[in-house]
Protein backbone atom coordinates (compact mmCIF):
# COMPACT_ATOMS: atom_id res chain seq x y z
CA UNK A 1 0.00 0.00 0.00
CA UNK A 2 2.83 2.40 0.84
CA UNK A 3 4.47 1.73 -2.54
CA UNK A 4 1.28 2.79 -4.38
CA UNK A 5 1.10 6.18 -2.65
CA UNK A 6 4.17 7.68 -4.45
CA UNK A 7 2.85 6.31 -7.77
CA UNK A 8 -0.58 7.86 -7.12
CA UNK A 9 1.03 11.21 -6.24
CA UNK A 10 3.13 11.07 -9.40
CA UNK A 11 0.04 10.38 -11.56
CA UNK A 12 -1.84 13.27 -9.92
CA UNK A 13 1.13 15.59 -10.48
CA UNK A 14 1.36 14.54 -14.15
CA UNK A 15 -2.39 15.07 -14.63
CA UNK A 16 -2.17 18.56 -13.08
CA UNK A 17 0.83 19.42 -15.24
CA UNK A 18 -1.03 18.25 -18.34
CA UNK A 19 -4.11 20.36 -17.49
CA UNK A 20 -1.98 23.39 -16.62
CA UNK A 21 -0.15 23.16 -19.95
CA UNK A 22 -3.24 22.59 -22.09
CA UNK A 23 -3.63 25.02 -24.97
CA UNK A 24 -6.21 27.82 -24.49
CA UNK A 25 -9.34 27.47 -26.60
CA UNK A 26 -10.53 30.23 -28.92
CA UNK A 27 -13.79 31.94 -27.99
CA UNK A 28 -16.93 30.99 -29.89
CA UNK A 29 -18.80 33.58 -31.95
CA UNK A 30 -22.48 33.31 -32.77
CA UNK A 31 -23.74 36.15 -35.00
CA UNK A 32 -27.21 37.04 -33.72
CA UNK A 33 -28.29 39.86 -36.03
CA UNK A 34 -27.24 42.58 -38.40
CA UNK A 35 -29.46 45.64 -38.52
CA UNK A 36 -29.35 48.48 -41.03
CA UNK A 37 -29.21 51.69 -39.00
CA UNK A 38 -28.57 54.09 -41.84
CA UNK A 39 -28.45 54.38 -45.61
CA UNK A 40 -27.23 57.57 -47.21
CA UNK A 41 -25.49 58.68 -50.40
CA UNK A 42 -22.10 57.86 -48.85
CA UNK A 43 -22.80 54.33 -47.72
CA UNK A 44 -24.50 51.76 -45.59
CA UNK A 45 -24.29 51.77 -41.77
CA UNK A 46 -25.11 48.54 -39.98
CA UNK A 47 -24.90 47.30 -36.42
CA UNK A 48 -23.88 43.68 -36.00
CA UNK A 49 -24.72 41.84 -32.78
CA UNK A 50 -22.52 38.86 -31.93
CA UNK A 51 -22.63 36.60 -28.88
CA UNK A 52 -19.07 35.79 -27.81
CA UNK A 53 -18.29 33.09 -25.26
CA UNK A 54 -14.85 32.56 -23.76
CA UNK A 55 -14.48 28.84 -22.82
CA UNK A 56 -11.24 29.38 -20.88
CA UNK A 57 -10.76 29.82 -17.14
CA UNK A 58 -9.34 33.32 -17.65
CA UNK A 59 -10.49 36.55 -19.33
CA UNK A 60 -9.47 37.38 -22.90
CA UNK A 61 -9.70 40.67 -24.79
CA UNK A 62 -11.35 41.46 -28.10
CA UNK A 63 -8.89 43.75 -29.85
CA UNK A 64 -10.46 44.37 -33.25
CA UNK A 65 -13.16 43.46 -35.74
CA UNK A 66 -12.54 43.18 -39.48
CA UNK A 67 -15.56 43.12 -41.75
CA UNK A 68 -16.16 42.93 -45.49
CA UNK A 69 -19.61 43.89 -46.78
CA UNK A 70 -20.68 42.27 -50.05
CA UNK A 71 -24.01 42.96 -51.75
CA UNK A 72 -26.11 40.19 -53.29
CA UNK A 73 -25.15 41.35 -56.80
CA UNK A 74 -21.48 40.76 -55.93
CA UNK A 75 -20.60 44.42 -55.33
CA UNK A 76 -17.90 44.62 -52.70
CA UNK A 77 -18.26 47.65 -50.42
CA UNK A 78 -14.78 47.05 -49.07
CA UNK A 79 -13.28 46.16 -45.73
CA UNK A 80 -13.92 47.92 -42.46
CA UNK A 81 -11.44 47.67 -39.56
CA UNK A 82 -12.73 48.53 -36.11
CA UNK A 83 -10.60 48.72 -33.00
CA UNK A 84 -12.86 47.75 -30.12
CA UNK A 85 -11.36 46.67 -26.80
CA UNK A 86 -13.77 44.44 -24.87
CA UNK A 87 -12.95 41.97 -22.10
CA UNK A 88 -14.61 38.55 -22.35
CA UNK A 89 -14.97 36.97 -18.91
CA UNK A 90 -14.53 33.19 -18.58
CA UNK A 91 -17.51 30.96 -19.44
CA UNK A 92 -19.99 33.83 -19.77
CA UNK A 93 -21.81 34.65 -23.03
CA UNK A 94 -21.31 38.34 -23.84
CA UNK A 95 -23.38 40.25 -26.42
CA UNK A 96 -21.20 42.62 -28.41
CA UNK A 97 -22.62 45.28 -30.74
CA UNK A 98 -20.34 46.40 -33.54
CA UNK A 99 -21.35 49.43 -35.64
CA UNK A 100 -19.75 49.70 -39.08
CA UNK A 101 -20.10 51.81 -42.20
CA UNK A 102 -19.33 50.57 -45.72
CA UNK A 103 -19.10 53.03 -48.62
CA UNK A 104 -21.03 52.83 -51.89
CA UNK A 105 -18.95 52.80 -55.04
CA UNK A 106 -20.85 55.96 -56.04
CA UNK A 107 -24.22 57.67 -56.06
CA UNK A 108 -25.01 55.81 -59.29
CA UNK A 109 -24.88 52.49 -57.43
CA UNK A 110 -27.36 53.78 -54.84
CA UNK A 111 -29.69 55.12 -57.57
CA UNK A 112 -29.61 51.85 -59.51
CA UNK A 113 -30.46 49.87 -56.35
CA UNK A 114 -33.29 52.26 -55.46
CA UNK A 115 -34.77 51.97 -58.98
CA UNK A 116 -34.56 48.17 -58.99
CA UNK A 117 -37.74 47.84 -56.91
CA UNK A 118 -36.14 45.10 -54.82
CA UNK A 119 -34.69 44.82 -51.33
CA UNK A 120 -30.91 44.50 -51.29
CA UNK A 121 -29.50 41.48 -49.43
CA UNK A 122 -25.91 41.69 -48.19
CA UNK A 123 -23.43 39.59 -46.26
CA UNK A 124 -20.90 40.71 -43.68
CA UNK A 125 -17.91 38.37 -43.26
CA UNK A 126 -14.71 38.85 -41.34
CA UNK A 127 -12.75 38.07 -38.24
CA UNK A 128 -12.70 39.14 -34.62
CA UNK A 129 -9.14 39.59 -33.29
CA UNK A 130 -8.96 38.22 -29.78
CA UNK A 131 -5.79 38.40 -27.78
CA UNK A 132 -4.15 38.44 -24.45
CA UNK A 133 -1.02 37.10 -22.85
CA UNK A 134 -2.18 33.47 -23.17
CA UNK A 135 -4.13 33.58 -26.43
CA UNK A 136 -4.05 35.47 -29.73
CA UNK A 137 -6.35 34.36 -32.54
CA UNK A 138 -8.60 35.67 -35.34
CA UNK A 139 -12.03 34.02 -35.10
CA UNK A 140 -14.09 34.08 -38.34
CA UNK A 141 -17.79 35.00 -38.61
CA UNK A 142 -20.46 35.58 -41.26
CA UNK A 143 -23.90 37.19 -40.99
CA UNK A 144 -26.51 38.28 -43.57
CA UNK A 145 -28.91 41.20 -43.69
CA UNK A 146 -31.17 43.19 -46.01
CA UNK A 147 -31.43 46.86 -46.97
CA UNK A 148 -35.13 47.46 -47.63
CA UNK A 149 -36.42 49.15 -50.77
CA UNK A 150 -37.82 51.93 -48.56
CA UNK A 151 -34.36 52.61 -47.07
CA UNK A 152 -32.80 52.68 -50.55
CA UNK A 153 -35.43 55.10 -51.91
CA UNK A 154 -35.07 57.45 -48.94
CA UNK A 155 -31.28 57.54 -49.36
CA UNK A 156 -31.57 58.13 -53.13
CA UNK A 157 -34.00 61.03 -52.59
CA UNK A 158 -31.68 62.53 -49.95
CA UNK A 159 -28.79 62.30 -52.42
CA UNK A 160 -30.57 64.60 -54.89
CA UNK A 161 -29.73 67.62 -52.72
CA UNK A 162 -26.04 66.75 -53.08
CA UNK A 163 -25.97 66.89 -56.89
CA UNK A 164 -23.50 69.38 -58.43
CA UNK A 165 -26.32 71.05 -60.43
CA UNK A 166 -29.77 72.39 -59.65
CA UNK A 167 -32.91 70.45 -60.50
CA UNK A 168 -35.82 72.40 -62.00
CA UNK A 169 -38.53 73.03 -59.42
CA UNK A 170 -41.40 73.53 -61.86
CA UNK A 171 -42.14 72.65 -65.46
CA UNK A 172 -41.57 75.47 -67.97
CA UNK A 173 -44.71 77.25 -69.20
d(CA 128, CA 144): 16
Query: Is 18 a domain residue?
Result: no
Query: Is 8 a domain residue?
Result: no
Query: Is 172 a domain residue?
Result: no
Query: Is 32 a domain residue?
Result: yes
Query: Is 75 a domain residue?
Result: yes
Residues in the chain: 173
What are the tens digits of pLDDT across the range 80-114? 888 878 899 999 999 988 888 888 766 566 777 77
Whether the Cβ atoms of residue 94 and residue 36 lie closer than 8 Å to each other: no
At residue 22, the pLDDT reads: 62
What are the tens digits of pLDDT across the range 123-173? 999 999 888 666 678 899 999 999 898 888 888 787 776 545 444 555 555
pLDDT at 15 over 60: no
Q: What angle do CA 116, 120, 123 make, to 5 degrees?
A: 150
- Name the band, by pLDDT with cuts 50, 70 and 90, for residue 30: very high
At residue 26, the pLDDT reads: 83
What are the tens digits of pLDDT across the range 31-87? 998 899 988 878 889 999 999 999 988 888 888 889 998 888 888 888 888 887 889
d(CA 76, CA 39): 16
Domain count, the chain: 1
Query: Is 96 a domain residue?
Result: yes
At residue 76, the pLDDT reads: 85
At residue 153, the pLDDT reads: 85
CATH of the domain at 35: 2.60.40.1820
Query: Is 103 a domain residue?
Result: yes
pTM (two decimals)? 0.70
Provide the domain limits for residue 119.
Answer: 23-160
Query: Is 51 a domain residue?
Result: yes
Whether the Cβ atoms of residue 123 and residue 141 lie closer than 8 Å to each other: no
Amino acid sequence: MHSLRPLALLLIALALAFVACSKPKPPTLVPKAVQVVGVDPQGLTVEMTVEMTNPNGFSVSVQSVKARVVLADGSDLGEVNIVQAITLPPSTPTLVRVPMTARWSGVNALGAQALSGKDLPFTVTGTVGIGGEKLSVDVPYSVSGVVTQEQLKRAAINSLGKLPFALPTAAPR
